[in-house]
Structure formats: structure tokens, C-alpha cells
Amino acid sequence: MPPGGGEGEGEGEHGSTVQSHPPATVRRDEDAPPHSTPPLSDVPPVASEENLEQEQQPMPNVPEGALVEILSRVPYSSLCRFKCVSKPWLALCSAPDIRKRSPQTLSGFFYHDEGDALRFCNLKGRGPPLDPSLPFLRHSYKNVHVEQVCGSLLLCNCWNSCLPSEGDYVVCNPATQEWIVLPPVVFLGQDQEGSHDVTPSVYLGFEAAVPSRFVVFATPHNVGVLSGEMAIYSSETGQWTYVQTKWASESLMDLSRRIRVFLNGTMHLSTRYNYNTMVTVDAEGKVWREVPMPLPKKTVIFNTGQSQGRLYAWQMGYHYGCQVYIWVLEDYGTGKWALKHTVNVLELFGRHCRKDGQYYEMFAFHPDCNVIFLTDKKEMTVSYDLDSQKVSVICTEGMMGLPYTPCFAELQSAGH
């Protein structure tokens, strides 16, 4: 059993280099599923026109409709490789309908620098740059603040006046530059004119498996005044639905932490003063759960994330060396967690001991494979493949990033 306790973002493209120091020590259960997907695979450039003419290949003898359905389910990186086969393949794999539906993978992280400016770290090091200033929103708003990144979408607070509380909540897709303005949230006891007096806390829910829709959960920021009420926005209806929370105990949302995981149509949130419990609610506000965390200690601070359709929790331990412990939730009903990995963090950074004032943090799990991301908060951010034990430097500064995976599908009811 690991010890309790723990310590709780340069714009542009960053290359990846492999560290030469020994791999970290890892302990993994035998039932952990193997994964061979490389964490940060590069997509080869499209073949030149001259090469295409030299290697003309006939289109496969498959009905066009069936071929489109097949290719729309192929990862985008594979589509880029298929373009090299011939001119007909180039045209087919470049079709907008196929590209919109093709599954994407993690491309980088949004993070804030020391001046609180939003930046983007591009893991691929190629392709058109993503402008983290979101200029398509600034045509309509003077101020844009990103509240949350959930997969492919961003939830922003946008305003033109002097007060952020008088602004709009906007959900946008940086890849397509589409955006939707949410209607105001009006909780019980508020009228429309006074709706800005109580600033809600909002949580965005989006999954690539259903790319045309999203949900937003909102709770009153001042939970002492309006406790127990939640609003749920659906992009399908364009409206808020107001419900009363149904968790067994009085759980207050921990607004200071970024534990907001949307997985399998369910939002997972951390609670204040009770770190050993996570609360969940589905997109319709019908299923409410309280899930115990792996260690039954109120002082243990966990972070959570999702990968390959499973919920993970991790905790940094400093008492006996510098270790990160990673669990996976095996059963919601019983709250059963299984310890899957124990990693020596210092070895990842090529260091033998932790100096005073040095702290490390694991901040993300790769959504598609067994790769984790860690930072020393000052000089280096790395990725670590739990299967191959390969360490790659992705940024030469401390970065607490929010994972971003592009999506080219159109948002339902997008007004812009």
C-alpha cells in the first residue's frame, strides 16, 4: 500500500527527444492489457505529385458507399498515409466527409504560462499551428478566458464589459472554429436580470464517440446559499434543465481542482474536504453516484483522468522516494480499484534525489494508449510509455497541460 499524502504551463511546436538514462521502475499487474500504439507517432508527409504518377494504383473494388464508411472509421494518421498510394487515393482520403468523421488522437496540450497567457504545446511538431488566442472568438468578444478543455472542445467565458460575470459562456471547437453561446444560467430564486449576481461553476462534457453533441453541467458558485441545485445544458435541446442533486451525503464541489472527467456519458467531479470520494452524474441527471477513491484517507489528494474508455486515478508520494501510483476503476458498483503501475519519477527526469523545493506532478493520461505525462513544474515536461518504458521530453519548461484532441465534425445547432 503506497504512503498517503502528496503535493499538490512556450507556445509553438516542441520536438521530442529520448532520454538516455535508465527506464523507470514499474510494477504492473499481470492482467493489465498490452498496448502497442506509439504515444507520439509522426505522420509522414504526403507524397509528391511526381511519386504519385510513378506509383498509380487502382482504387479497391469496393462499393463507394462502403469504402467511405470504412475509411471514416480509420484513424486520421492512417488516412494521411493512404494519401501516398495514388492520386485517386489522395482525392478519396482528402474528402471532407471522411475527414470530419475520422477518429483523431491527442495532438497537444493547452496550458497557461507564468503570465497566465494561454499557450499550446504541439506534440506532433507539424501541421497547421493552432492559435491559442482563439481569434475567431475575439471578433465578437474583447476578453476570452478558457475555463476548461474537454477532448476536442473548449468552454470559455467571454465578455466585452469590465466584469467577467456579465459575459457569456461559449463552447467552441478550435479545429473548425465553430462556437455556440449558451443561454444564461438562472438558478432558483434568481430572475433573468439578476442572473449574473451568482456566478456558476461550469463543467463541460464531450466525447469523440458522439462528436456532434456536448453537455455542460453548472452549479452555483456560492454553494452555501444555493446548495443541492444543478443545471444541465444539452446541445441537442439548446436549453438548461434544472435538477436537485441526489448524492447520499452533502458533497461540496472542489472548485480549486481540475478533476473534471467526462467518460461514458457521465461527469466525474472531486469533492471538497473529502478527498477519498468522487461524485458522478450522468448527462440526463438521472444516475447519481458516490465513488470511493483507492485509499480511505481524507488527507490523500488524487487526480483522475480517462484512457481507452477507463477511469484512472493517480497520486504522487514523496515520503518514501518520489513515486507515482496509478489505479484503474474496475467496478463502479463496488468502487473497486486496482493498482496498475508504480513509477519512480526521479528516474524519468534523470535525477537521483529530490532537492528541497522540487516537486513533480503527473497531469495527464494519453486517451488512446498507456502513456502518462509528468512535469517538474520548472524545467522539463516528459511523456512516459508504461509499456516500452520510453521517456520523451516534450517541453523544456514546466507545463500543467490540458489534453486536446482535434475533431472536425460539425457541432449540432452551431450558430457560428
Q: How far apart are the first and last CA of the chain?
A: 52
Cβ atoms of 229 and 173 closer than 8 Å: no
Q: Report the alpha-carbon distance of residue 18 to residue 136 in Å, rounded.
A: 37
Can you give the residue range of the structural domain that contains 112? Answer: 12-31+101-404
Number of Cβ within a 10 Å radius of residue 316: 22
Quick one: pLDDT at residue 263? 95
Model pLDDT for residues 315-329, shown as the tens digit of each residue: 988 776 789 999 999
pTM of the model: 0.75
What dihedral do alpha carbons 77, 81, 86, 88 form, nearest 10°? -10
d(CA 309, CA 255): 25
Give the H or E element holding residue 52.
Answer: helix 49-54
Q: Is the pLDDT of residue 248 over 90?
A: no
Q: At residue 404, what is the residue type? A: Y
Amino acid letter, residue 78 = S
- CA dist 131 and 108 (Å) reads 12
Distance CA 381, CA 395 (A): 5
Asked if residue 299 is part of any domain, the answer here is yes
Taking alpha carbons only, the member of 49, 416, 406, 8 closest to residue 208 is: 406
d(CA 326, CA 27): 10
Residue 256 CB neighbour total at 10 angstroms: 9
Examine residue 90 and state whether it is found in any structural domain, yes or no: no
- Adjacent-strand bridge partners of 145: 157
225 pLDDT above the threshold of 80: no
Whether the per-residue pLDDT at 338 is higher than 90: the answer is yes
Q: How much is the pLDDT for 54?
A: 45
Mean pLDDT of 127-139: 86
Residue of 291, 214, 285, 216 whose CA lies nearest to 251? 291
| pLDDT at 8 > cutoff 70 | no
CATH number for the domain harbouring residue 270: 2.120.10
User: Does 208 map to a domain?
Assistant: yes
Read off the pLDDT band of 236 (50, 70, 90).
very high
Task: For residues 142 and 146, give the distance between their C-alpha atoms in angstroms, rounded to a whole number.
Answer: 13
The answer to whether 111 and 364 are in contact (CB under 8 A) is no
Residue 280 lies in a domain: yes
Instruction: Decide if 163 is inside a domain.
Output: yes
Highest mean pLDDT: which range of 101-110, 132-141, 320-329: 132-141
Q: Locate cell 511519386: which residue?
A: 51
Q: 165-205: per-residue pLDDT in tens? A: 678 999 999 988 999 999 999 887 655 554 445 578 899 99
Beta strands 336-344; 402-404: pairing state: unpaired
Mean of pLDDT over the chain? 77
**125 or 12: which carries more pLDDT confidence?**
125
pLDDT digits (tens, 9 = 90+) for 252-274: 665 555 668 999 999 998 876 65
Q: Which three cell numbers stand for residue 9?
A: 504551463
Q: Sorting pLDDT into bands at 50, 70 and 90, what band is 127? A: low
Dist. CA 66–CA 69, nearest whole Å: 5
| 24-80: pLDDT as tens digits | 444 444 444 443 333 333 434 444 444 444 444 555 565 667 777 677 666 666 666
- Residue 73 domain-assigned (yes or no): no
> Which amino acid appears at position 33 of this protein?
P
How many domains would you assign to the chain?
1
Strands 143-150, 153-159: parallel, antiparallel or unpaired by DSSP? antiparallel
Nearest to 342 by CA among 406, 308, 386: 386
**How many Å apart are CA 79 and CA 103, to the nearest integer?**
10
Residue 381 resides in a domain: yes
Is residue 162 domain-resident?
Answer: yes
Strand-pair partners of 277:
292
